[in-house]
Chains A and B, each alone.
Chain A
Amino acid sequence: FSTFPLSPRWTKTDLKYRILNYTPDMAPADVDEAIEKAWNVWSSVTPLKFTRVYEGEADIMISFVAGFHGDFYSFDGVGGTLAHAYAPGEGIGGDAHFDEDEYWTKDMKGFNLFLVAAHEFGHSLGLGHSNVLGSLMYPAYLQTETRNYRLPQDDVDGIQTLYGPPTSTEPPTSTPPTETPTETSTTDSCDPHMTFDAITTLRGEIIFFKDRYIWRKSPYFPGIEQDLISSFWPTLPSGFQAAYEIDKKDQVFLFKGNQYWVVKGEFVQPGFPRNIHTLGFPRYVKKIDAAVYDGNTKKTYFFVGDKYWSYDEVTESMEKGYPRRISVDFPRIDNKVDAAFQEKGHFYFFHGSKQYEIDTKYKKVIREMKSNSWFGC
């Protein structure tokens, strides 16, 4: 990788971008999506956050232009130069220009706008070109699969020399944590006071999250395996607070603070993290305690404090009439829910070192157990 001479970089982490105009080659919504997805490539591996503004000045102004367009680098018609962008700085600094004479598409029929934009935004953030074939900052356009796009390591290394890795931005919770979370070592998996941050199924396995670790209970191998979260998802933070799987879509949703990510196996889906409020939560909700998807009803229950919401995964919207008090609909669940998952038609809710097996249909507690009963202690 390379940076510009003297390595100019933004000295703030919250950057604003504005799309000044659209190419007639694509639907505006597809342009919006390609641009947002391109910014997420960089925000997912740095502390940077990108917010779109619709008027006035922005740090990065994005436009489609042709030929001479007011700077010293005129475009050259079809082919040749596709786009260019300026290093971080005032005025034109950071701005990105796309050659309108090219044919821009959201697929591979023309030049894929997401790929070119992600490259140009690398310049807007301070990266120069890389001579690593296959890296995003390689100067020549390379057709690349854009689903499950993963930023190549050379680009991650480059951008992190300028801005470092993502910080775990834990928004201040409403109540200070009762106990200072202590790192858990492997031998504690049978600790009778074991508590979990989040639990989800994942391709037939059950994944228990705690601090930087996960425990895997798998039908494919005996016993319990402990791993670092970073060994599964190197570009994601640790300390997830809620998680759930939609098995039919092979998607796992991971929540931390007011952000969430979606993964398919080890692949982090592009376009994330997103803010939990895009799911329909009110502003006062700062984080999710637990989440569980009911495959029968296709609804996801989100637990926050002593209340819960129901999200319809078909209409992708929050159901009316929520939040509701947990203890009203789930008798005997009188406290907040730390973690939850569904297995073989039952819900399992966790609070502290206790676990409650619940009949999904009638929402009745069937059994109470220790939280780590799954570990065969």
Chain B
Amino acid sequence: FPVVPEMEKKNEEDMQFAEKYLEKYYKLKTEAEPIFKMKNSKTISDKIQEMQAFFGLKVTGELDSNTLEVMKQPRCGIPDVGQ
């Protein structure tokens, strides 16, 4: 179905929120990171899978509503992996 413009905007915002979350707590490397990519650098989908596995969510690699809901819970600022 054609995506309604505001829905597109919302998805964009959610994805940005998710990227920030994964950078903070799952060591997602941002574009601003040095040109050379860490050998084990992973795409955002892999990192979403990692977070879903940690919280016992269905591991899809997709930013579904359950995953976004957990990401929005108030929490501790210490990363969940690779502190």
Contacts and interface: CB of A to CB of B under 8 A. Distances in A.
Nearest to A133: B56
Given A4-B83, A87-B83, A131-B56, A75 B76 contact: no
Contacts of A73: 77
A75 B74 CA distance: 12
A357 to B, nearest CB: 57
B83 A128 contact: yes
A289 to B, nearest CB: 45
Contact of B74 (A5, A84, A123, A141): A141
A5 B54 CA distance: 17
Contacts of B55: 131
A333 interface: no
Contacts of A140: 70, 73-75
Contact of A141 (B24, B75, B80, B83): B75
A80 B83 contact: no
B3 interface: no
Given A4-B83, A141-B73, A128 B56 contact: no
Interface in A124-183: 128-129, 131, 133, 139-141
A80 B78 contact: no
A81 B76 contact: yes
Q: What is the predominant secondary structure among interface residues of chain A facing chain B?
A: loop
A175 to B, nearest CB: 50
A131 B54 CA distance: 6
Which size bracket describes the interface of B in this complex?
10 to 19
Contacts of B25: 139
A81 B83 contact: no
A48 interface: no
B77 A75 contact: yes
Interface residues of A, number: 25
A342 to B, nearest CB: 48
A82 B83 contact: no
Contacts of A5: 82-83
B75 A85 contact: no
Nearest to B80: A129
Contacts of B54: 129, 131
A294 interface: no
B75 A139 contact: yes
A139 B76 contact: yes
A139 B80 contact: yes
B78 A128 contact: yes
Contacts of B70: 140
Contact of B76 (A87, A119, A131): A119
Contacts of A83: 76-77
A82 B74 contact: yes
A126 to B, nearest CB: 11
A139 B80 CA distance: 7
A247 B51 CA distance: 49
Nearest to A142: B73
23 contacts: A4-B83, A73-B77, A75-B77, A79-B74, A81-B24, A81-B75, A81-B76, A82-B75, A82-B77, A83-B77, A84-B76, A102-B74, A123-B76, A128-B80, A128-B83, A129-B54, A129-B76, A129-B78, A139-B75, A139-B78, A139-B80, A140-B74, A140-B75
